[in-house]
Structure 1
Amino acid sequence: MPPSRPDVTILPWQGKTPRIHDSAFIAPGCRIVGDVEIGPDASLWYNCVIRGDVNRVVIGARSNIQDGSVIHCDSATPGAPQGYATIIGEDVLVGHMALLHGCTLHDRAFVGLGTIVMNGCVIESDSMLAAGAMLTPGKRVLSGQLWGGRPAAFMRDLPRAPGIAGAEAYVELARGHLAELAAAGSGHGPAQG
């Protein structure tokens, strides 16, 4: 188990401990529990909750989960014997206060501020779910599409992919926050200590 920090909770659950890459940035106030894997240069921003207690959660390299977001998964049911893990690919942007539950976000997906993505949903590469949208169970956003609304529906094709630039910017921003926290004497090293 990673060394504890007074401002971050990292807890095992039933023998499974979060696995956090040394280069990931975990901001103060985050809570990470159970079967969670966080990849290289990923960032979890202030006050996020990532809970892998009834299934697993994976966050890929350079993906960012912005402030106040909640990520959970779902256990097996008769209709879904494997349950619903939450799998987030590489270079994914997840806006502030998003709620992701038992869904899959492919590489370079973009999920806007305050969105809800429910069990069995898939957001393919280079697609976007607009701010405030709610993607209801089992929906699939195809590559290059923009969906929005509550419930979310197809709006239009994107003229270009949302781009990797946002993910790259967040990697640099995380490094800056880490340096500022260290300079302030808060004892923040890499994600794990």
Structure 2
Amino acid sequence: MTLHRPDVSIISINGKTPKIDDRAFIAPGCRIIGDVVIGPESSIWYNCVVRAEVNRIVIGARTNIQDGSVIHCDGPAPGFPDGFPTLIGDDVLVGHNVLLHGCVLKDRAFVGLSATVMNGATIEGDAMLAAGSMLTQGKHIESRQLWAGSPARFVRDLDDAAVMGMRMGVAHYVENAKAHAAAIAQS
């Protein structure tokens, strides 16, 4: 991945510069700003914004942030002296047009299309927030649970097939990112 492409903005602010692993895929149209770390084989898809000027954002290995998603964080506030960083683990699936704000997604979490996850919320590994849902501040989705709605509520436990499907999705996006990187390099 080349950080000096004219179709991607990598911006330092407040003395912080994004740290992006050379094996990560950053698609055209992305804006990555400030105290951001992106791990190996992760993919940030077309027209995403990852902005960390008031706190930090960490994205682990093999995680995908799909097209049009926005990731932000929150700085210190009364009652919250550390603010709310956004911490995303390894092998996480984040659907198209998702908003992640000051939340924690543990390894192997899943966030469906157009969902919102707010400050202080946590999604454990092998858990899923359904498409279009809003996980409000401070809520916690336990491992192997599906939550849906706005505000999101527990729906049911996930079976082995659902968990395996999420893991297959991670592998698909790692390979798909390689194909897109090759296509961009040839264009």
Q: TM-score, normalised by structure 1?
A: 0.93
- In the alignment, what sits opposite 1:171? 174
- In the alignment, what sits opposite 2:47? 47
Q: TM-score, normalised by structure 2?
A: 0.96
Instruction: Supply the distance in 1 between the matched residues of 2:129 and 2:166 (Cα, whole angstroms).
Output: 14
Q: CA distance change for structure 1 residues 3 and 114 in 2, over 3 Å: closer, same or farther? A: closer
> How big is the shift at 1:5?
1.4
- In the alignment, what sits opposite 2:76? 76
1:142 aligns with 2:142: yes
Instruction: Supply the distance in 2 between the matched residues of 1:3 and 1:73 (Cα, whole angstroms).
Output: 23
Instruction: Supply the distance in 2 between the matched residues of 1:163 and 1:113 (Cα, whole angstroms).
Output: 14
Unmatched 5+ residue regions in structure 1? 185-193
Aligned length: 183
1:98 aligns with 2:98: yes
Alignment of 1:1-193 (within 5 A): 3-160=3-160, 161=163, 162-184=165-187
Provide runs of 4+ in structure 1 moved above 4 Å.
Answer: none
> How big is the shift at 1:173?
0.1
Larger helix share, 1 or 2: 2
Instruction: Supply the distance in 2 between the matched residues of 1:126 and 1:24 (Cα, whole angstroms).
Output: 23
Q: What is the alpha-carbon root mean square deviation over aligned residues?
A: 0.9
Contact 2:147–2:154 at 8 Å: present in 1 too?
yes
Unmatched 5+ residue regions in structure 2? none
Structure scoring higher RCO (CA < 8 A, sep ≥ 6) equals: 1
CA deviations on 1:60-118 (whole Å, 9 max, x unpaired) are: 00000000000000000111110000000000000000000000000000000000000
Counterpart amino acid of residue 184 in structure 2:
L
Contact 2:73–2:86 at 8 Å: present in 1 too?
yes
- Structure 2 counterpart SS, 1:126: coil
What percentage of residue pairs aligned between the two structures are identical?
62
Contact 2:128–2:146 at 8 Å: present in 1 too?
yes
Contact 2:93–2:166 at 8 Å: present in 1 too?
no
